Amino acid sequence: MALQPLFNPSNDMALAANVRQYFPPSRIRQMESDLASLSRLWPEGPWGWSLATKQRYLALGVGREELPSDEWLHEVRRLSSRQFGVAYYQAMDGLMAGDEAGSALLPCRARYCSSMAELAAALEACSVSIIKAPWSSSGRGNMVVGRSDEDCDSASQRGRLTQTERQRAEGLIRQQGGLVVEPFYADKALDFAMEFEVADGTTRFLGYSVFSADEMGHYCGNLVESQESLLRHIALPASLLQQLADYHCRQLATLSYRGPVGIDMMRLRDGRIHPCVEINFRMTMGLLALRLQQSGTSADQLLAGNERQGFAARIVGRRLVIEYNK
């Protein structure tokens, strides 16, 4: 029996909590309710899997035999952590070093830190860094820290945390076991992603997505355009993109995961690529934008209604955006 589609973008927070009974903040619950009709854009199953998602399906009357095992869900949680993303990027850095694509990729400078001492050492390597929670989405939990070299009086000031930043970092380590730190790329030119579907040990490349995010990594919207148009925005050699897609297809197929995957990337102004900013083992807004463009159906028929109050999904200037009207 096919599982009822479920729009539960709070799942990243549920993964962090790692409990069966998870209740997201009231505003997130409102968003999930207001935008529930977005689930019509995929055939079955949830936005993302966790112990809490399984519990929701059980509460809806779905039999345990129709749901994934707890062991599989624990593996999804491990893969969804940015700690895994850092290890994936580090392996990619080594495996692709000799390829044609190698010279175009930024070397991996992301680090997973499980203590404040490790964080302090990582911060010394960059004047401005971005700190990320292991489990979060749409830029929630991100924190840009440090000062540019010209604003530092001495090397000892590089990466120095304020009291508030230190408290937040200590909180992440205490609550989620660690955090990820990497350089803040002020010369970012474009955010884009590759969308995949993994099933039965094979990976299918679905297409590209182009999105916008602010300097903190907060999601702002996705372009809803043809693949040809998106490739013009991405503005990278087709051979390079094909190499990246082929690499990700091979690596994702080795994992004990099935379902959608979105890998966020970044193009800098000099043409270099950050090939693994995030790995999302779930539905993504990029995949929704891709399906909207390919559906051939009026967006107004597929998107949530234009509520006067609350959350609404709309296409504004060829961008899929989530708006909130008080």
274-284 pLDDT per residue, tens? 999 999 999 99
Q: What is the dihedral of CA 61, 66, 71, 73, to 10 degrees?
A: -70
- State the pLDDT at residue 216: 76
For residue 308, what pLDDT is reported? 60
**What's the mean pLDDT in 79-100?**
86
Which pLDDT band, with edges at 50, 70 and 90, does 72 fall under?
Answer: very high
CA-to-CA separations, 87 to 94, 136, 153, in angstroms, rounded:
11, 18, 34
User: What is the pLDDT at residue 126?
Assistant: 86
The whole-number pLDDT of residue 314 equals: 87
Once rounded to an integer, what is the mean pLDDT over residues 193-214? 95
- SS3 for 197? strand
DSSP string covering 80-98, please? Answer: HSHHHHHHHHHHHHHHTTT
Q: Looking up tokens 């993994």, which residue turns up?
A: 198
User: Quick one: average pLDDT of 252-281?
Assistant: 96
What kind of architecture, by CATH, is found in domain 186-295? Answer: 2-Layer Sandwich (3.30)
- What are φ and ψ of residue 324, in 5° steps? -130, 120
Residue 90 near residue 108 (C-beta atoms within 8 A)? yes
Range 50-71 average pLDDT: 96
Q: Is the pLDDT of residue 156 over 60?
A: no
Confidence (pTM)? 0.92
The average pLDDT across 267-293 equals 95
Helix 238-253, helix 227-234: angle, nearest 10: 110
Q: What does the pLDDT read at residue 109?
A: 94
Task: Domain ranges for the chain, please list them.
Answer: 114-183, 186-295
Element (H, E) at 284: none
